[in-house]
Structure 1
Amino acid sequence: MSNVVIEPRPVVRKFLAKPQHEGVGATVRRSIGRFELKYFDPFLVLDEFSVSAPAGFPDHPHRGFETVTYMLQGAVTHEDFEGHKGTIEAGDLQWMTAGRGIVHSEMPAAEGTQRGLQLWINLSSKYKMIEPRYQELNSKEIAEAKKDGVKVRVIAGEALGIKSPIYTRTPTMFLDFTLKPGAHIRQPIPLSWNAFVYVLDGEGNFGNSRSSSILAHHLVLLGSGDGLEAWNKSSKSLRFILIGGEPLGEPVVQYGPFVMNSQEQIDQTIEDYENYTNGFEKAKHWKSESTIVFGY
């Protein structure tokens, strides 16, 4: 499909993301952030979530990282204590920099099952206490390209000659590939970055055309090299996410939704949250509309 000469990254590890309970009544398939893989610098968590009302993720805080929400099916309503509110529908993207502090809710906004991905990206020490901000794209605004049986949606980074407008404080690529039967892709990845694949639908071969096929809901960690090669040898479409990022190489201390560089910083964060100070002031008198409606 491409004349790009790359050294393909081999598959060094793969495992099935099994369902577990999160939030209130929600189910996630967590691949990064569980005991098998606590941290894959700079990535803290990857969840494939499924939620139906009244289940969801009522009011909760974050500090020290970014959350990337990419909807696959249905819709969720997002609200925070700054008054930011909106609905993230199928194909839409929300890139939230929690920075020094956000309290928000994420609740179902449609009937049936809402399905999506949420990725947590660590922030370097110099950015952990910045003011919160959002970058949001609806489905039509996401850059997309097609070539030789391959379609890519460029959430962050660059692929097939197109770039995303998303600014990544921690340098990151986030690509949504769909390969028709028989299609093949070569995608460059910066040599120093960590990278992985998450298979959403179908089955594919990664790293080597003779490698065993990998099915949906599997996380595939990629070894060293400067690109990904993938093949769809099946009779059905293959859809997978390729994510890569520049490692921060900093200490990580995590306490639930707070991620800092030291235990002292975590202790201070807990104190700030409990006392409504240093970024959490507005949490004192705030409840999301969704939380009130659903009775949490």
Structure 2
Amino acid sequence: MASIKEVLLPATATGTPTASTLFEAATVVPDTPSTLTTPRRVAKAFEAIEQSEGAGARVRRSVGTAQLRNFSPFLMLDHFTIGPGAGFPDHPHRGQETITYLLSGSVDHEDFAGNKGTIGPGDLQFMTAGKGIMHAEMPGLASTTPNVGLQLWVDLPTALKFCEPRYRDLRGDEIPVVEADDGKVSIKIISGESQGVEGVRELAYTPVWIFDVTVKAGGTLKQILPKAWNAFLYILEGSIIVEGKDVPTFHNVVFEKEGDGVVVEGKTDARFVIIAGQPLDQPVVQHGPFVLNTKEQVYEAMRDYHGYQNGFERAEGWRSEIGKRMD
């Protein structure tokens, strides 16, 4: 996985700040408790209802619905299934980052900057839209199992809304895994810290922690989280117990900010993700794939995209090879 400095533009001769300089200015080192003494309380829990999205894809959306909208820095969480003949052909973005975590199958990515990649089970891809990108995400041709995964949209700090776009991936075998509660709990540390072990740093410009957790019935996870960060979990399989209440599959559990972390028990054998992020003190105006701070900026994004300017120059006449599978 490339580090951030390997994929950013260098400083200009006129001294214009680079994205790395802006990144350092826009983020702070998280204030993380050393032990979990006060668990966070549950603010709400709700089911993610399945719906259609893209071209024939099915998603269970939890963040980005009326139940949980603009839970800064998170804009959207989709639990997606892409079957044969379906997918997300060529489309634009501006102002956010996407993190795609594949659970089964394979997914191909291609964008107008020349980036291409394929991820398989346990792999992740990260795309920073910045000032503008056009890309496609389609089922891998070699896939023999359902293409299922999670896609998280993360807002960019205002100072980085118009940074250069970038793409990178992270392979599953690069991600540390630790156990807890005498082996009853397994934690895949995609980003952040668990049980004294750290995962990938600088996963996104906006700091986020992501854990993929499997727990046996009766097992208990105690996970510290940075203070004042927004946090939630999403259940992929089985049922869990939080604050003495049963929560079944496909539910999103939103936590309050106060507390040192979360405590989760397996009612059955279960699998879930815990996601936490540094809130951004800024307005959010979203229109489809464009996420800016004002309505005027959204209108400008649409004009730029249709006019092939200000970051979308390469969109003119461009078609992805993988998107042609929908023809």
Scaled by the length of structure 2, the TM-score of the pair is 0.85
1:275 to 297, 304, 307: 307
Is the contact made by 1:52 and 1:111 (CA closer than 8 Å) also made in structure 2?
A: no
Match of 1:227 in 2: 261
Question: In 1, distance between residues paired with 2:127 and 2:185?
Answer: 29
1:169 counterpart = 2:169 = no
Match of 1:243 in 2: 275
2:192 to 145, 157, 181: 157
Match of 1:202 in 2: 238
Residues 135 and 290 (structure 1), Cα distance of their counterparts in 2 relative to 1, 3 Å cut: closer
Is the contact made by 2:103 and 2:149 (CA closer than 8 Å) also made in structure 1?
A: yes
CA RMSD of aligned residues (A): 1.3
Structure 1 residue 112, shift from structure 2 partner: 4.3
Ranges in structure 1 where 5+ consecutive residues have no aligned partner: none
Structure 1 residue 268, shift from structure 2 partner: 0.9
Is the contact made by 1:8 and 1:228 (CA closer than 8 Å) also made in structure 2?
A: yes
Structure 1 residue 286, shift from structure 2 partner: 1.1
1:61 to 79, 89, 92: 92
Q: Which amino acid aligns with 1:52?
A: G
Is the contact made by 2:104 and 2:145 (CA closer than 8 Å) also made in structure 1?
A: no
What is the correspondence of 1:124-139 to structure 2 with a 5 Å cutoff? 124-139=157-172
- 1:278 counterpart SS class: coil
2:57 to 10, 26, 31: 26
Counting strand residues as a fraction of each chain, which structure ranks higher? Answer: 1
1:74 counterpart = 2:109 = no
Match of 2:293 in 1: 261
1:181 counterpart = 2:217 = yes
Question: In 2, distance between residues paired with 1:23 and 1:284?
Answer: 22
Question: In 1, distance between residues paired with 2:272 and 2:264?
Answer: 10
Match of 1:286 in 2: 318
What is the correspondence of 1:90-105 to structure 2 with a 5 Å cutoff? 90-105=121-136
Q: Which amino acid aligns with 1:283?
A: A
Structure 1 residue 111, shift from structure 2 partner: 3.6
Match of 2:10 in 1: none
Structure 1 residue 238, shift from structure 2 partner: 1.2
Scaled by the length of structure 1, the TM-score of the pair is 0.94
Ranges in structure 2 where 5+ consecutive residues have no aligned partner: 1-33
Question: In 2, distance between residues paired with 1:166 and 1:55?
Answer: 34
1:15-69, Cα deviation, whole Å (9 max, x unpaired): 1001011000110000011122221111000000001121100001111011000
Divergent runs of 4+, >6 A = none
Match of 2:174 in 1: 141
